[in-house]
Structure 1
Amino acid sequence: TSTVAGASQFVLNLEAAVPLLPPHQGTLSVVDLGCAHGKQSISVIKQLFDELKTQSNYIQNLNQLNVYHEDLPDNDFKAVEKSINDPEIGYLTHDLVKQNNIKVNYNFIGKSFYEEILPNSSLDLAFCYNSLHFLPEYKSTKFGIAYTPEYGDEELTKWFNDTANGYFAKFLTSRYYELKAGGLLSINIPTESNFQNWVNSNWKKVFEARGLNYRDFDKVVFPVYYRPLEQVNKVLSEFNEKFKLIRSFTVSNQSMVNPNVTEVQKQNMKNHFKAVIYNQIVSGLEHYPDTFKDEEARDKLYSELEDLCFNDPSPRENKSSFEWLVLQKI
């Protein structure tokens, strides 16, 4: 599916979740988990507000909205706040807010979403999109900076499955405590990608060009793991008595990426790539001060990796799958 089709899944999840929101006492509290630099987070909140406008009975006595944006402590929350207050893209001037005289409080939380971040039974709705493949714990491998079960190492695959399952269970447990009875959780989970192959192959080339062996720098990792769907379902089955499954939908994409894009398109792709992977690369390289003595040296290697990834003139296959879920606390 395309980005447009992917975007529509945000709306379809909301259409399933919002009519089931628990009764309120004048206040609605929501959290976006893994908000990153903000623009997608802002879009998600605006889509929520759009859907709330269709629920006239629910918003009749609604006078306050508490919106929490969560990410790790080193996230650029200033960029998130700038987007929130931007009159063109922010949500503070949304029709729902203006027409119903609703007060909006926004807050930032610099913690891991794998732990409890808000008081028990305080949330009506939680989102987490394009983030659950990031793990706070990772393992160095001979394959490069990221691992996929396609590499066929049974021992590593078991370790990654067990680790990812454990963190997904922690995520669900934390949300169970934070949500009110009847509260909703809307998430997507990346279950398949060939991103690892693409990055790993270019990672090896960067070091080969310098006459170095990438395996001598195995403390650099990109801590993402695309949980196989059967592993996702395995964990969900353990929560049958805590969450009711409201919606489940699989979105798969297989296409060729044409390298002949405009400079603006290429720069947008580079910006996204950098937002996702840059910090992981440069912080990992800090373990090797003899080879990468300062920030300039680390930045140079990152730039070489980025150039290899985006200046290849041959078409590249892009493959991915996401599982979209809406769960309701029982």
Structure 2
Amino acid sequence: MNEPLGSKTAAMEGGGLYNRHSGLQHANLQTALPLLEEAARLIGQSSAGLAVIADYGASQGRNSMGPMGRAIDLMRQQDEDRPVQVFHADLPSNDFTSLFTLLADDPASYLSGRTAVYPTAIGRSYFEAILPPSSVDLGWSSNALHWMSESPVEVDDHAWAVFSASQAARDAVDDVLARDWLQFLTARNLELRPGGRLICQFMGRGESELGFEWMAGLFWQSIVELREEGHLTEAETQRMTAPSAGRSLAQVAAPLQSGEVPGLEIDHLSLFESPDPFWDEYQGTGDARRLGEQWSCMMRAANGPNFAAGLDVSRDRNALLDRLTDRLAARIAAAPQRSRSWNVLLSVTKSK
């Protein structure tokens, strides 16, 4: 049974947990850094005065430090004293405390060794305009745009509706992906100044496989096991449908090629196979238990709040997520393999 939902998407798990368990996301964004560096270098050569960088989907900030620091330095190549303002945007429920603690105290902070850099946080959805028109020089978004603004449907045969046997459910996912993507691009088209650049890296989908089938399947099996043991009801299990899915290159390109966002021009669009840093480590250590812990903790940090939102209010959510994380870790350790998924790289320019 599939039911319309429309519940809003939650931020990553707080308390700095996502910062501690986002190694996969850190590995993913490395492929996008050359595009970010090229954009920052060109902006530094073609503009002066206050430079504005927008970090869309910053979460708790760990994976923003390196990219922001590199962009700041390249935008200052013509003027080492050029002031730079960095806006970190995420949902109101985001753990901004961890972000600002990291900025203030961590040696990896992009404030370390740099002056005239001004970080700011915005607790609003990036599916709307959140900065003034023509104010942004450089936009950056990594590991975020596969999250939908809401979960369009509940399914009873998987934890991700995009993997459901129901064609209607999969169509509902694609409808929200298309709407969200157009809204995101429309908002950025308003905010970017003429000549400004936007660099995005997020989950894609392959031609013959969507990607992430193995890990998502193990997650769902762990949920079903908890339900069968009486830790979850049928209704709770159905509500535990994640609001995320990858896009194909055709889906990414569609609104940019159709003229729906006039002024934004594609500089680069490609699909690459996502790295698996946990598997790479396992190849050297043979430690299947650690492989399971790394993957399960990452999955909890990224997906836990959205799954917990489907639980009855009487539940001890942390205890149940602990149990789910343990079951997932055990399944991974019992049959280790490399995860297979894809990421999109996109660079666009606002025409002058």
In 1, the alpha carbon distance for the partners of 2:82 and 2:344 equals 34
Q: Secondary structure in 2 aligned to 1:142?
A: coil
Q: Secondary structure in 1 aligned to 2:150?
A: coil
1:176 to partner: Cα distance? 0.5
Q: Secondary structure in 2 aligned to 1:319?
A: coil
In 2, the alpha carbon distance for the partners of 1:211 and 1:8 equals 39
Q: Secondary structure in 1 aligned to 2:108?
A: coil
Equivalent of 1:88 in 92, 97, 107: 107
In 2, the alpha carbon distance for the partners of 1:40 and 1:123 equals 20
- Contact 2:28–2:143 (Cα < 8 Å) also in 1: no
1:7 to partner: Cα distance? 4.3
- Contact 1:16–1:326 (Cα < 8 Å) also in 2: no
1:283 to partner: Cα distance? 2.1
Runs of 5+ unmatched residues, structure 1: none
1:266-294 CA-to-partner distances (Å, cap 9, x unmatched) read: 55544432321121122221xx24xxx24
**2:302 matched to 1:302?**
no
Q: Secondary structure in 2 aligned to 1:69?
A: strand
Give the corresponding residue for 2:309: 283
- Contact 1:144–1:215 (Cα < 8 Å) also in 2: no
Q: Secondary structure in 1 aligned to 2:202?
A: strand
Segment drifting more, 254-263 vs 229-238:
254-263
Give the corresponding residue for 1:318: 339
Structure 1's 86 and 152: CA in aligned 2 closer, same or farther, altered over 3 A? same
In 1, the alpha carbon distance for the partners of 2:75 and 2:272 equals 25
**2:45 matched to 1:28?**
no
Runs of 5+ unmatched residues, structure 2: 1-23, 206-210
Q: Which amino acid aligns with 2:305?
A: N
1:88-143 CA-to-partner distances (Å, cap 9, x unmatched) read: 1111124xx3xxxx411111100001011111111101111100011122110122
Q: Which amino acid aligns with 1:47?
A: R
Structure 1's 314 and 216: CA in aligned 2 closer, same or farther, altered over 3 A? same
Segment drifting more, 313-322 vs 106-115:
313-322
**2:264 matched to 1:251?**
no
**2:158 matched to 1:144?**
yes
1:147 to partner: Cα distance? 2.0
Segment drifting more, 154-163 vs 128-137:
154-163
Give the corresponding residue for 1:205: 225
Segment drifting more, 29-38 vs 213-222:
213-222
1:214 to partner: Cα distance? 3.8
Q: Secondary structure in 1 aligned to 2:156?
A: coil
In 2, the alpha carbon distance for the partners of 1:262 and 1:314 equals 8
Q: Secondary structure in 1 aligned to 2:204?
A: strand
1:137-183 CA-to-partner distances (Å, cap 9, x unmatched) read: 211012222122x5453222222111111100000000010110111
Q: Secondary structure in 2 aligned to 1:30?
A: strand
Structure 1's 121 and 4: CA in aligned 2 closer, same or farther, altered over 3 A? closer
Equivalent of 2:247 in 214, 218, 227: 227
Q: Which amino acid aligns with 1:174?
A: A
Q: Secondary structure in 1 aligned to 2:339?
A: strand
Give the corresponding residue for 1:173: 186
Give the corresponding residue for 1:71: 90
Q: Secondary structure in 1 aligned to 2:130?
A: coil
Q: Which amino acid aligns with 1:327?
A: V
Structure 1's 128 and 52: CA in aligned 2 closer, same or farther, altered over 3 A? same
Structure 1's 4 and 34: CA in aligned 2 closer, same or farther, altered over 3 A? closer
Q: Which amino acid aligns with 2:49?
A: G
Structure 1's 254 and 120: CA in aligned 2 closer, same or farther, altered over 3 A? closer
Give the corresponding residue for 2:298: 272
In 2, the alpha carbon distance for the partners of 1:106 and 1:254 equals 30
1:187 to partner: Cα distance? 0.2
Q: Which amino acid aligns with 1:318?
A: S
In 2, the alpha carbon distance for the partners of 1:115 and 1:163 equals 15
Q: Across the two proteins, how many residue pairs are aligned to each other?
A: 311
Task: Return the TM-score normalized by structure 2.
Answer: 0.79
Q: Matches of residues 130-141 of structure 1 in structure 2 within 5 Å?
A: 130-138=143-151, 139-141=153-155
1:180-206 CA-to-partner distances (Å, cap 9, x unmatched) read: 011100001311332432322221122
**2:61 matched to 1:38?**
yes
Segment drifting more, 3-12 vs 168-177:
3-12
1:217-258 CA-to-partner distances (Å, cap 9, x unmatched) read: 322322111123322222332347321111223211487945
Task: Return the TM-score normalized by structure 1.
Answer: 0.84
